[in-house]
Structure 1
Amino acid sequence: MAGVVYEIDSWQSILLCFLFAVLYVGSLYIWSDSGTKSRDHPDTIKRRFTSVTVVCILVIPLMWFFSSSSTNVNAHSVFEWMGIRFNGIITALVIPLILTMVLFIGPLTLHYMDGVFRLYLEPRYWITSVKNTIWLRNHVVAPLSEEFIFRACMLPLLVPHFGEGWSVFICPLFFGVAHLHHMIEKITQHKEDVKEAFQTSAFQMAYTTVFGAYSAFLFLRTGHFIAPVLAHAFCNHMGFPAFNEVLAYNDKTLRWRLIAAFVFGLVAWIYLLYPLTAPFLYSNDIYYV
């Protein structure tokens, strides 16, 4: 069965990944009023939806252009390299999301105690959410477009040269650094001190890089683009764990139970990470990590 492989050299793969990152971030600032309206303004969000969609479409021909034909029976199509395939799709839709929820057992317990879970049972909550551009950005457009550019397009270029293991750590660097652009808005629009804006953005870069490594791991283990997309959407919904809220509880017994839930979630996630991402569960014969 004919397929394609990626045979560009290592420096070309790095430069292409850098180009993809620049195109993605640059597309957010091409509008004339990008420096005056907040990133949360509906006009800004809608225009950026258009921008990132165009970028995602434009990189597909580039992926085709830099691929090489192969008659090797183990070669795969461009779309299979990018994690867009049907074999194993059901497990890819369910298991990685459950695994990510295990990691967030602590924050989920906190949500339960705070009564947040009751909101999810209200149809009005979901109706309001899907009409909200910020919610759509955080839960739909950002996970889809970012995972497409920073995982589905970059990893097929990096893996042939650096292997799956190193690619898990190299790929997220582009993702983490790409989030530094938020510092521009903090300084120009929110009038934050440069040092404070840098510290906040550096922290954001650090945890997005860590998440990027997890996301890349999910992509390579499952061979599915949708697996990291759902994990990304869920993490965006949960946000960074509110450790300070846990420590603020006056009831010591309750506080220790919450701490135990956080620790249990982390330990259980580590224990389940490899078994629940075993490639055979997802019919993954593309990547091996």
Structure 2
Amino acid sequence: MSTMADHGGGAGGPELCSVSVVSCLLLACGYVGSLYVWRSQLPRDHPTVIKRRFTSVLIVSMLSPLWLWTWRQYTGFKTGPSLLMLMGVHLDGIIAAACLPLLLTMVLFFGPLIQLVMDYPWDLFEGMKTFLAHFHHVIELLKFRQGTVVGIFLSAVFQFSYTAVFGVYTAFIFIRTGHVIGPVLCHSFCNYMGFPAIGAALDHPRKVTIFFFYLLGVILFFLLLFPMTDPTFYGSLAICHLTKPDTSTSVCT
């Protein structure tokens, strides 16, 4: 199935690749840039700032299909499925898409989840709140003088590395499943859990047990990564089924 391989009189070859990469970059920059269009002296976690940023990203998200449509018109790409389907918005295989990637991500967090159960056996929901570990952006940390410049820089490097790896993981899920709901749920779960509290685990009285489950979770995650994201579970529109190049055309692979 190579419905994405055929294109008409638009961009082709290296130009197609360049246009596609630049389009993705501009869309991503537009999303992040929309968070900073509001001028405010309030910290980023203030309810007013959160509401404004939510409005901004909602507008950008609503405009993203138009951006994708413009890219397709310029490049002349011919696609069988609709744009919404290519963006992962469809019902074919949605049950599996909503459950399996989230379950896989929870397997990766097996250790932190066990740690939460040990520390908060009667109120897991409140326990999860305690382990939130969001890292503020460099600009706002400097603005409100929260830490040294070196500490802020190291925190930013760590945050960038962590979010980059997570971005690769969610993109992998999207490509394998052809659904957007899986990445959204996994992103929400990881945001809620935060980065694993390894420091607290080191000081835990049952640290050997906890680290056993940390290691078990990582091992199971890599063993289940491909089986649980097998495109056959998610219908006929998995993106990896739509990117096989046509030998008669030159496309970005």
Taking structure 2 as the reference length, the TM-score comes to 0.81
Distance 1:16 1:10 in 2: 10
State the partner residue of 1:152.
none
* CA deviation string 1:216-262 (max 9, x = no partner): 1110111000001001111111111111111112x4xx221111100
State the partner residue of 2:137.
182
Range that drifts further, 62-71 or 13-22:
62-71
Gaps of 5+ in 1: 130-134, 139-178
Distance 2:68 2:55 in 1: 21
Distance 1:116 1:63 in 2: 47
State the partner residue of 1:237.
192
* CA deviation string 1:176-224 (max 9, x = no partner): xxx9x91111111235332221111110000101111111111011100
Secondary structure of the residue aligned to 1:230 is helix
Q: Is the 8 A contact 2:6 2:77 kept in 1?
A: no
- Do the aligned partners of residues 264 and 119 (structure 1) sit closer, same or farther apart at CA in structure 2, a change above 3 Å counting? closer
Distance 1:5 1:78 in 2: 15
Matches within 5 A, 1:86-125: 86-115=91-120, 118-120=123-125
Distance 2:192 2:102 in 1: 13
State the partner residue of 1:150.
none
* CA deviation string 1:139-177 (max 9, x = no partner): xxxxxxxxxxxxxxxxxxxxxxxxxxxxxxxxxxxxxxx
Q: Is the 8 A contact 2:87 2:180 kept in 1?
A: yes
Deviation at 1:81, TM superposition (A): 1.2
Deviation at 1:55, TM superposition (A): 1.1
Deviation at 1:4, TM superposition (A): 7.1
Matches within 5 A, 1:123-202: 182-202=137-157
Secondary structure of the residue aligned to 2:141 is helix
Q: Is the 8 A contact 2:23 2:71 kept in 1?
A: no
Q: Is the 8 A contact 1:27 1:52 kept in 2?
A: yes
State the partner residue of 1:31.
38
The question of 1:227 aligning with 2:179 is answered no
State the partner residue of 1:262.
214
Taking structure 1 as the reference length, the TM-score comes to 0.71
Deviation at 1:63, TM superposition (A): 0.9
- Do the aligned partners of residues 71 and 190 (structure 1) sit closer, same or farther apart at CA in structure 2, a change above 3 Å counting? closer
Distance 1:83 1:226 in 2: 7
Gaps of 5+ in 2: 242-253
Distance 1:241 1:6 in 2: 45
* CA deviation string 1:55-82 (max 9, x = no partner): 112222111111146777xx22111111
Distance 1:71 1:242 in 2: 47
State the partner residue of 1:76.
81
Deviation at 1:117, TM superposition (A): 5.7
* CA deviation string 1:88-139 (max 9, x = no partner): 001111111111111111000000011166243x9xx9xxx9xxxxx9xx9x
Distance 2:181 2:23 in 1: 23
When the two chains are superposed, the root-mean-square deviation of aligned CA atoms in Å is 2.6
The question of 1:47 aligning with 2:52 is answered yes
Structure of larger gyration radius: 2
Higher relative contact order (Cα pairs below 8 Å, separated by 6+ residues): 2
Q: Is the 8 A contact 1:27 1:48 kept in 2?
A: yes
State the identity as a percent. Answer: 40
Distance 1:281 1:42 in 2: 40
